[in-house]
Copies of this chain bind each other. A is one copy, B any other.
Amino acid sequence: MPPKVILTRPLPASRGLEGGAILDKAEKDGLIELVRWEEDSPVDRQWLLEELRKGGTEGLLCMHNAGSSLKVVSTMSAGFDHVDTSALKKREIRFGSTPDALTDATADIGAMLTLMASRRAGEGIRAVLDGKWPSMPWNPLLLCGQGLTKSTVGILGFGKIGQLTLKRLLSFGISRCLYSTSRIGEPLSPSRDFFQTLPLASYLGVEMRPAESYDQLARESDFLIVCCPLTPETKGLLDASFFEKMKSTAYVVNTARGPIIDSDALLAAVQSGKLAGAGLDVVTGEPNIPADHPLVNEKRIVLLPHIGSATVQARSGMSRDAALNVLAGVGVEGYEWANEVKL
């Protein structure tokens, strides 16, 4: 009997998702028995528990959401706040995630939000949608933002996504980058410079410097981009006292996780003019953000519905890595882990 694998969301190969094609082929070749949740909606808990109760399930491929035979859980996501990893560890179930396929897409959103916040794109779009363009009184400073030229870009969390986000911005005429690795003050080792960001900065004459402290990052950044993981240390790191130290012409961007920023403190800083604005792809409480949420109503804050990894290419790569993780996890020959998380 081939190992039984449960797939909790459709991954249509016909729509360009490579992981769907990999699983279809493994099923067709008789290497796995694939049990699919067929609807384009979150998997029904009862259905899933029933399938697991039937026994024999060795692999589970889930997204953003486990009988005794279960050997592997594979999530199609980079983060895994939604997975009870201690339960997996206790039961010796292996676990895979897909952190790499979304780096490009997320870095692009970081660069885009840096531009959108500083060029007041949210305000501009709203003015057009509300029909205000015909009657806006033009003056030389109408809808003027801050350019990136000669600015200092701060990157909080200089891992893969942080490095690639900064790389995107290197050709925008910036002067300097301050960055924080997991040990503040420690320079990026060339062996961990995954995208040759350091030599490109050198080629373009951009000064690269590890921030000595979070204080320095707050005080000197014209654009501060949050790219670090959410941990007990980073939760609420950007709070009222942090914003207090920032320049009034500075912008904050977050493409990582909402709770790294204290939303109330951010709103107060923008409303009082202590901060020029913000661009957010993530926010505490998402997706339960109604139209009357105070952050939605602050025109200097532009808020996107967590689309950092939303490219066909990234999602296809994530589906591929998730499929490989589940197939390797159940022991199908010829498939290797894309990324196993050591629990």
Instruction: Report A's interface with B, CB cutoff 8 A.
Output: 9-11, 15, 17, 40-42, 63-64, 76, 104-105, 108-109, 111-112, 115-116, 119-122, 124-131, 133-134, 136-149, 167-168, 170-173, 200, 203-204, 286-292, 296, 302-305, 307, 310-315, 318-319
Contact of A136 among B104, B287, B311 (CB under 8 A): B287
Question: Assuming A124-B307, A134-B287, what are 11 further A-B pairs, CB within 8 angstroms?
Answer: A42-B137, A104-B149, A105-B147, A115-B115, A119-B310, A127-B305, A128-B289, A133-B289, A133-B305, A147-B312, A168-B171
In contact, B9 and A147 (Cβ under 8 angstroms): no
A104 to chain B: closest residue by CB:
B149
In contact, A109 and B116 (Cβ under 8 angstroms): no
Query: How far is A203 from B142 in the complex, measured between Cα atoms in Å?
Result: 38
In contact, B171 and A313 (Cβ under 8 angstroms): no
Contact of A119 among B11, B148, B307 (CB under 8 A): B307
A sample of 12 inter-chain contacts (CB < 8 A) reads A10-B139, A10-B140, A42-B138, A76-B140, A104-B148, A104-B149, A125-B303, A128-B303, A131-B290, A144-B310, A147-B311, A200-B203
For A112, the chain B residues whose CB sits under 8 A away are 112, 115-116, 119, 121
In contact, B119 and A108 (Cβ under 8 angstroms): yes
In contact, A140 and B9 (Cβ under 8 angstroms): yes
For A171, the chain B residues whose CB sits under 8 A away are 167-168, 170-171, 200
The number of times this chain is found in the oligomer is 2
Min CB–CB distance A78 → chain B (angstroms)? 14
Contact of A315 among B140, B167, B302, B312 (CB under 8 A): B140
In contact, A64 and B138 (Cβ under 8 angstroms): yes
In contact, A143 and B15 (Cβ under 8 angstroms): no
Query: How far is A15 from B139 in the complex, measured between Cα atoms in Å?
Result: 12
Q: Using known A-B contacts A289-B128, A296-B128, determine if residue A116 contacts B108 with beta carbons closer than 8 Å.
A: no
Min CB–CB distance A179 → chain B (angstroms)? 16
Q: Using known A-B contacts A143-B310, A170-B171, A310-B142, determine if residue A109 contacts B104 with beta carbons closer than 8 Å.
A: no
Query: How far is A146 from B287 in the complex, measured between Cα atoms in Å?
Result: 23
Min CB–CB distance A14 → chain B (angstroms)? 11
For A313, the chain B residues whose CB sits under 8 A away are 146-147, 149
Query: How far is A120 from B127 in the complex, measured between Cα atoms in Å?
Result: 18
For A144, the chain B residues whose CB sits under 8 A away are 310-312, 315
Query: How far is A312 from B151 in the complex, measured between Cα atoms in Å?
Result: 13
Q: Using known A-B contacts A134-B289, A286-B133, determine if residue A108 contacts B64 with beta carbons closer than 8 Å.
A: no
Q: Using known A-B contacts A9-B139, A125-B302, A140-B11, determine if residue A130 contacts B291 with beta carbons closer than 8 Å.
A: yes
